[in-house]
Structure 1
Amino acid sequence: LAFSDELLLRVLAYLPEPHLTASASLVCKRWMRLSGRLRRRLAVRDWAFVTHRLPYRFPDLAVLDLFPASIAAPAAPSRASPVLTCGAVSLTLDPGADPPLGACRFLADDVLDRGLAVVAARFPNLRRLSATAASESAGLMDIAGGCATLQELELHRCTDLALRPVSAFAHLQILRIVAASSPLYGTSEDGGVTDIGLTILAHGCKRLVKLELVGCEGSYDGIAAVGRCCAMLEELTIAEHRMDGGWLAALAFCGNLKTLRLQGCARIDDDPGPAEHLGACLTLESLQLHRCQLRDRHALHALFLVCEGARELLVQNCWGLEDDMFALAGLCRYCNHQSDSSNVLALVS
Structure 2
Amino acid sequence: MSVLEENPDSPLKKRPPRWSDIWLKKTKPLKHVVFAMQLQSLASKDPKSQTLIPHFANIDRTLLLSDELLLKILSKLPLSQRNPNSLVCKRWLNLQGRLVRSLKILDWNFLVSGRLITRFPNLAHVDLLNGCLFSPRNSGILLTHRMVSMQMRYGNCSNWELLEENLLPVEVVDGGLQALANGCPNLRRLVVINASELGLLTLAEECLTLQELELHKCNDNVLRGIAACENLQILKLVGKVDGLYCSLVSDVGLTILAQGCKRLVKLELSGCEGSFDGIKAIGQCCLMLEELTICDHRMEDGWLAALSYCENLKTLRLLSCKRIDLDPGPDEYLGFCPSLERLYLQKCQLRSKKSLRALFRVCEAVREVVVLDCWGLDNDMFTSASVCRRVKFLSLEGCSLLTTEGLEATVLSWLDLETLVVVSCKNIKESDISPALATLFCNLKELRWRPDAKSLLSSSLMGTGMGKKGGKFFKRT
Pair in the same fold by TM > 0.5: yes
TM-score by length of 2: 0.68
**1:145 is aligned to 2:205:** yes
After TM superposition, which residue ranges in structure 1, 4 or more long, deviate above 6 angstroms?
A: none
Contact 1:104–1:184 (8 Å) recurs in 2: no
Q: Where does 1:148-187 land on structure 2 (aligned, <5 Å)?
A: 148-179=208-239, 181-183=240-242, 185-187=244-246
Q: Structure 2: which amino acid aligns with 1:26?
A: L
- Distance across 1 between alignment mates of 2:243 and 2:318: 19
The code of the aligned residue for 1:338 comes to S
- CA deviations on 1:46-88 (whole Å, 9 max, x unpaired) are 11111121100100011111112112215x8632x1431425x
Aligned partner letter, 2:73: V
1:60 maps to 2:141 = no
Which letter does structure 2 place at the counterpart of 1:17?
L
In structure 2, the CA distance between the partners of 1:90 and 1:170, relative to structure 1 (3 Å rule), is: same
Unpaired stretches in structure 1, ≥5 consecutive residues:
none
Is residue 169–residue 194 contact of structure 2 (8 Å, CA) maintained in 1?
no
Equivalent position to 1:107, from 156, 168, 172: 168
In the superposition, relative to structure 1, how do residues 18 and 203 fare at CA in structure 2: closer, same or farther (>3 Å)?
Answer: farther
How far did residue 335 of structure 1 move?
1.1
**Per-residue deviation at 1:183?**
2.0
Q: 1:220 aligns with which of 276, 296, 313?
A: 276
Aligned-residue identity in percent: 50
Please report the TM-score for the alignment, with normalisation by the length of structure 1.
0.92
| Partner of residue 91, structure 1 | 150
Q: Within 5 Å, give how 1:227-246 maps onto structure 2.
A: 227-246=283-302
Deviation readout 1:126-167 (Å, 9 max, x if unpaired)? 111111242x32111111011011111111110001110112
8 Å CA contact 1:95, 1:101 repeated in 2 = no
Higher relative contact order (CA 8 A, sep 6+): 1
1:194 to 250, 257, 260: 250
* Deviation (angstroms), 1:339: 2.2
Structure number, greater radius of gyration: 2
Aligned residue in 2 for 1:273: 329
Give the distance between the partners of 1:28 and 1:85, measured in 2 at CA: 39
Q: Which runs of 5+ in 2 are unaligned?
A: 1-60, 398-421, 429-450, 452-477
Aligned residues: 339
1:345 CA displacement: 4.6
Is residue 94–residue 100 contact of structure 1 (8 Å, CA) maintained in 2? no
Equivalent in 9, 14, 17 of residue 79 of structure 2 = 17
Task: Assess if the C-alpha contact under 8 Å between 1:316 and 1:343 holds in 2.
Answer: no
Compare 42-51 and 256-265 and name the one that shifted more.
42-51
Cα distance change of structure 1 residues 319 and 98 upon mapping to structure 2, 3 Å threshold:
same
Classify the secondary structure of the residue corresponding to 1:176. Answer: strand
**C-alpha deviations, 1:204-262, integer Å up to 9, x for none?**
11111111100001111111111111111111000010111111011011111111100
Superposed CA RMSD:
2.0
Shift of 1:5: 2.2
